[in-house]
Structure 1
Amino acid sequence: MKIKVKIKTLLFIFAVFALLVVWGVPTTTMGIARYLDSKGSDKASLFYEKYANNKFTNDIEGKYLYASSLVK
Structure 2
Amino acid sequence: MTHTSKRFRSSSIRSKLILCMVIIACIGVLLIITAIIAYENTTAKKEALNELETLTSVIGWNSSPHLHSMTIKLQKKY
- Give the TM-score normalised by structure 2: 0.38
Q: Normalized per residue, which structure has more helix?
A: 2
Q: TM-score, normalised by structure 1?
A: 0.40
Larger radius of gyration: 2
